[in-house]
Structure 1
């Protein structure tokens, strides 16, 4: 029988409904087809309770989802909140549909996730790209400068919104307050894909979250840094510059009609935990991460990201000066049962959450330190992620290219053509090439550099990069 070990159900209506379903199990004549039996395919379906005729009635008569979303809105200081069972991917696409219409222009940070770019495709939006600043010492992205956004909006007064991703995948934090000011000077909303920042704002040593800094919309992944099921995400918005009815329409247009109740209940439970115990749990995790950074800084040549512009719960290290290959370090970590979020030749990223302890964080830091020493070699220059240096040129709008007739050509014949596909080294999933963009030698060099550094080339029809799909000119 499922339990509520931390006593959260009194402040978490969806969690309470999920527990009551198990405490008084029905004999359902509804979907899902496993009918709550675990003797057919095993425990893989255990806990799978639907929203409709599960957490609530088929007619949603009790309103537990709306109640839970209202509680989250109050916690984050939003006017409206919507839960998603499709992750920040669904949330980003819903927001893209909500803020502008087919043919409209929006200003977009190049550090956006693939999901937001496909949101541009779905909504028919044309991006004006703005590049992040790049740290010369590490080659890693910083935030987009507010002045860069101002210049883009001055040059494109027809723009309807500004989209940025912050914090970055590696944990660097930008000037969101400055970006909000820049957007609001032109009376357009600032939308922040804060997928990695569900914990921001809930401990004095953490950065404030985007809504606290003036953003109009914040998308965050409850499953990334909070104890929620995979695919759990939250959309939080203020309605001064966002139409709530249109936001709801965007959410419903792109969401499943059979949302998983366990995902929703875990989102609600994570919100209740954050409200009650977040300060304590996050404080312990921050202290553990601080100690881990100290240990890693003792490794000669290892650069450890730190400081006020870095998420205190991201362990990101740059290996170039140690000569160690991050792919070899990762293999050692996997053999020790310590998978990390990302590893390529030069950069390793480990995610810490409030579920971690001093013991778990200390263990991974020690394992990284020892693996670097085992694989130490001649120092090499900091190459950085070349994807951050790509200067995209939009030949046609993303939607037009995505749905156009296309052909496959050899890589060497693709220069000068228009891409029909999205290609992103993953992680972090930031596009090096997007539908509608001119393919340049610089772009191909960045992709090949990522591939040769051991990064997976994602979303490409041919991940080996022997060929590319281009539009028929």
Structure 2
């Protein structure tokens, strides 16, 4: 397996340019202001190379970014690709601006990340929410039902696009082919937030990527499951139902004009690695995850999500049957230097990527060590079994009273949380992780919303994005 990035030379033009920059002396009179010196603020800026006057000339005469994006489009078998240094957040903003117009209604899955909700604000779109069914045993969301999606598309006014998330944050999968069939039957594009699925389609034992299964545009994070720098993301699209010129305009409107070349190069390198060695790397990782799952499935009372409707690299555990508190287990894992992606009272999510393998010289970094720590910690905190409780993000049926953009700009007032029932929220409130809103701008504050927020706080989850982080007060639209 490759261990030296130079082995990817000739396969990744942005990586080639980054390596060339490192190999020659340069005295830049351009940004960034650290001028490649490490004696001022330290190694925190090591490897930071700009795109302009770094990987390429200030006038972009070498075309290395365009070359890399063309290669990514070919790798995913689509018409167009753009590399973002703003994460999937920027990608979601891009597609919202690209596929609909202000005032349009769009169908949106309620497992959407907050970035999609705020993209609706930016684009002036009106959501018609479709909530996923929730598994009664685990309390976790399943894929959006095809019949519910079709029903939403048949309502008036006619929607202009569908925005869904797949896989979900906890790794559950939906029927992308059927979703695409519904969208196309109604003459509209299907856009998939596949932030957690950059590895899909590159090994026979993982699902095909959403574009190969009928989606018209996909946003994916290169830094989540691939070894790219944080904030690296890719926007991919076909031109049949998506205006690619408008997609470009939307991308540029919301992207920085000073993109970090190092992030861009890492996206390109990750794409090249995935094409060249992805099957081998993913195969080894999948074997290790299967072994971990088998060990954890033997723990009495522990539910380990598995099967064809689950991302094979997402290790999601439901702890209710063990009686252990996920927050206590998380604390043990952190003390062992193994933080996990999500932990609340009932659920733990460990993210595995192609950087994880079955064998390594440092056993503290192996999935075997993760399994050891999980088994020991669950045994230590074991207690009476309890039923799983549906997480706050999946427990609420939203009531949209005002368009999100209108609510965002409306006059507002801070009210004691207990006095907000029946009022319309002016802000977004979400347990984090996963960042799925319990309350979005323009939605009515219902008793179920207040109960869900109280339950989330009691289970140890941080409530994020509210103006008042204690949630003692909530910003609501001013009456009258």
TM-score after normalising by structure 1: 0.98
Provide the rounded CA distance (Å) in 2 between the counterparts of 1:336 and 1:418: 44
Equivalent residue of 2:475, what SS? Answer: strand
Q: State the match for 2:298 in structure 1.
A: 298
C-alpha contact (below 8 Å) 1:147/1:182 kept by paired residues: no
Q: State the match for 1:149 in structure 2.
A: 149
Equivalent residue of 2:7, what SS? Answer: coil
Provide the rounded CA distance (Å) in 2 between the counterparts of 1:216 and 1:133: 24
Provide the rounded CA distance (Å) in 2 between the counterparts of 1:345 and 1:387: 14
Provide the rounded CA distance (Å) in 2 between the counterparts of 1:50 and 1:249: 22
Q: State the match for 2:243 in structure 1.
A: 243
- Decide which of 448, 454, 457 is 1:442's aligned counterpart: 448
What do residues 143-165 of structure 1 show as CA deviations (whole Å, max 9, x unaligned)?
11111110001013521100001
More divergent stretch after superposition (382-391 vs 308-317):
382-391
Answering whether residue 30 of structure 2 is matched by residue 24 of structure 1, we say no
Provide the rounded CA distance (Å) in 2 between the counterparts of 1:149 and 1:94: 23
Q: State the match for 2:392 in structure 1.
A: 386
Answering whether residue 470 of structure 2 is matched by residue 454 of structure 1, we say no
CA offset at residue 357 of structure 1?
A: 1.2
Equivalent residue of 2:144, what SS? Answer: coil
Equivalent residue of 1:212, what SS? Answer: coil
Provide the rounded CA distance (Å) in 1 between the counterparts of 2:426 and 2:190: 28
Provide the rounded CA distance (Å) in 1 between the counterparts of 2:156 and 2:56: 47
Equivalent residue of 1:223, what SS? Answer: coil
What do residues 208-257 of structure 1 show as CA deviations (whole Å, max 9, x unaligned)?
11001100001000000000000000000001000001000110000000
CA offset at residue 6 of structure 1?
A: 5.7
What do residues 394-448 of structure 1 show as CA deviations (whole Å, max 9, x unaligned)?
1110001111111100011101111000001011110000000011010010111
- Decide which of 421, 424, 427 is 2:427's aligned counterpart: 421
What do residues 331-381 of structure 1 show as CA deviations (whole Å, max 9, x unaligned)?
000000111111110000001111001141111111111100000011111
Provide the rounded CA distance (Å) in 1 between the counterparts of 2:52 and 2:146: 44
CA RMSD of aligned residues (A): 0.9
CA offset at residue 298 of structure 1?
A: 1.1
Q: State the match for 1:356 in structure 2.
A: 356
Q: State the match for 2:379 in structure 1.
A: 373
Q: State the match for 2:175 in structure 1.
A: 175
More divergent stretch after superposition (148-157 vs 430-439):
148-157
Q: State the match for 1:316 in structure 2.
A: 316
C-alpha contact (below 8 Å) 1:133/1:142 kept by paired residues: yes
CA offset at residue 274 of structure 1?
A: 0.2
C-alpha contact (below 8 Å) 1:392/1:438 kept by paired residues: yes
Answering whether residue 326 of structure 2 is matched by residue 326 of structure 1, we say yes
Equivalent residue of 2:317, what SS? Answer: strand
| Unaligned 5+ runs, structure 2 | 360-365
Q: State the match for 1:135 in structure 2.
A: 135
Equivalent residue of 2:10, what SS? Answer: helix
Q: State the match for 1:38 in structure 2.
A: 38
What do residues 303-355 of structure 1 show as CA deviations (whole Å, max 9, x unaligned)?
00000000110111000010000000000000001111111100000011110
Alignment of 1:62-73 (within 5 A): 62-73=62-73
Equivalent residue of 1:317, what SS? Answer: strand
Provide the rounded CA distance (Å) in 2 between the counterparts of 1:216 and 1:68: 21
Provide the rounded CA distance (Å) in 1 between the counterparts of 2:395 and 2:418: 21
Equivalent residue of 1:211, what SS? Answer: coil
Provide the rounded CA distance (Å) in 2 between the counterparts of 1:340 and 1:306: 18
Q: State the match for 1:186 in structure 2.
A: 186
C-alpha contact (below 8 Å) 2:18/2:261 kept by paired residues: yes
CA offset at residue 268 of structure 1?
A: 0.1
Provide the rounded CA distance (Å) in 1 between the counterparts of 2:251 and 2:270: 21
Answering whether residue 75 of structure 2 is matched by residue 75 of structure 1, we say yes
| Unaligned 5+ runs, structure 1 | none
Answering whether residue 469 of structure 2 is matched by residue 469 of structure 1, we say no
| Large movers: runs of 4+ above 6 Å | none
